[in-house]
Structure 1
């Protein structure tokens, strides 16, 4: 085994007890919502890593289906998000990443879905597709596939924040895009750092080891992450300027490495 092989999330230890009721209820609701389409369910993020903080962490879910979800099934999945946000105060919400099993198992998906399921997820129902893949080593291909959509995210969230009329909604939007941006920052150095970090603050620290001149920008993004109420125009300027730099740096590395 290479000394750079990435670690896997523990698949055997029990989850934190305060989150178990939500996890078990999630399985029941998803099975009911998509009984004919479901292939397997996974957790990722802080709950999967047993690092979640009650009242501050999302329940992050990967759902793999056998066929595309119908409009009705997608509506039922959205209903689960709304219901769980009010039913379980220990979680801030539920997010779903959804894919089809045929797409997951395509050769072209090895650095996206393969890495994601193998190193970032824990199966809680169904056929565990992570067993179809070997362990991965840090590479630009993984980094690129995990955050190639950062420009789209920046555009979407800049627009959402610009039209937001609620400061509380704006703060949640800022936290979401801050997480994505900090993880994308680490993707710029993953192939050099030879590691993998999911926690956005750790991503920021590692990124600064290679780009210390971006200390001020990172501090501002971390302020967004922590839920500080920042003036809207300042947030948008940060996303456009620093976010634009991240996208430009991504493209520069891609041209160099390919």
Structure 2
């Protein structure tokens, strides 16, 4: 792999995580997650994956969350979602080294569909680490840092802006505002990175590196993107800070992204991800 650009020797994007990168502090968390998922979902489960900082080996005890993707044989039901929420809450309670658990539930049909080939499929093949079951990446292509990949991962930022504005309007506590700030900051940085990804010619999930790479091509917005990266790690409850992201950087980035890469193909249902865009890895 090209360590500087996250590529294999053939120029395709390398899978970024691995179980052998999980640090000692999180090894028992991963083992417990594997056992609990298997016990909870049984024959409903096709495969399970880790993503984010834990399989990348960059997680920080006490502040990083545990991110899971479950591929189910059938379309997820409300019962499936309730089971996932209960399993996540139990893991979060049992392990102080994690700060929350996020679990995505998706059917194998959707993950392997043509529509999701350059979004959900890319997520599984390049950003997820196999934990249980038959790895779906074997049924997916290798990916290159192209404009198509950029469009299909983050070409729907404009759809997030009304939701963010509604979130700003309805947030009543500092905790609510910080959670929104963290989510928005991370989404903007990852979208900023994929805006320039084809020109740079590689892949990274690191927030700081993403912001710096973006700044090479859009220096007039570089400082705002560095701020977004910092807020993605240490969010603020300041309304003016949220306004900078939601009312200034966000609309500019959405318009620029559409002009460069076009709009993401419409989905018949709500987006697959809780993170927004490319299932960007969590903390």
Q: Report the RMSD for the aligned CA atoms in angstroms.
A: 2.3
Instruction: Tell me what 2:144 maps to.
Output: 137
Displacement of 1:237:
4.1
Q: Distance in 1 between matches of 2:126 and 2:15?
A: 5
User: Could you tell me how far apart the structure 2 residues matched to 1:34 and 1:148 are?
Assistant: 33
Query: Which deviates further from its counterpart, 102-111 or 123-132?
Result: 102-111
Distance 2:233 2:261 in 1: 31
Q: Give how far 1:37 is off.
A: 1.8
Normalised to the residue count of structure 2, the TM-score between the two structures is 0.82
- Counterparts of 1:77 and 1:16, CA distance in 2: 24
Shift of 1:10: 5.0
Residues 97 and 146 from structure 1, CA distance in 2 versus in 1: closer, same or farther, beyond 3 angstroms? farther
Structure 2: where are the runs of 5+ without partners?
Answer: 1-7, 266-283
- TM-score of the pair, normalised by structure 1: 0.89
In 1: Cα distance, 2:84 partner to 2:113 partner: 25
Shift of 1:15: 2.0
In the alignment, the residues of structure 2 paired with residue 235 and residue 170 of structure 1 have an alpha-carbon distance, to the nearest angstrom, of 8
* Greater length-normalized contact order (CA 8 Å, ≥ 6 residues apart): 2
- Post-superposition Cα deviations, 1:181-222, rounded to whole Å, max 9, x if no partner, equal 100001111111101111222111100010011023223323
Matched residue pairs, number?
Answer: 257
Separation of aligned partners in 2, 1:78 and 1:165: 24
In structure 1, the partner of 2:127 is 120
Aligned to 2:279: none
Please state if 1:250 is matched with 2:260: no
Comparing 235-244 with 194-203, greater Cα deviation is found at: 235-244
Aligned to 2:90: 83
Write the mapping of 1:196-211 to structure 2, written as runs, cut at 5 A.
196-211=203-218
Cα 1:94–1:151, aligned 2, differ >3 Å: closer, same or farther?
farther
Alignment check: 8 A CA contact 2:12 2:143 kept: yes
Q: Of residues 68, 79, 89 in structure 1, which corresponds to 2:75?
A: 68
Structure 1 gap segments, 5+ residues each? none
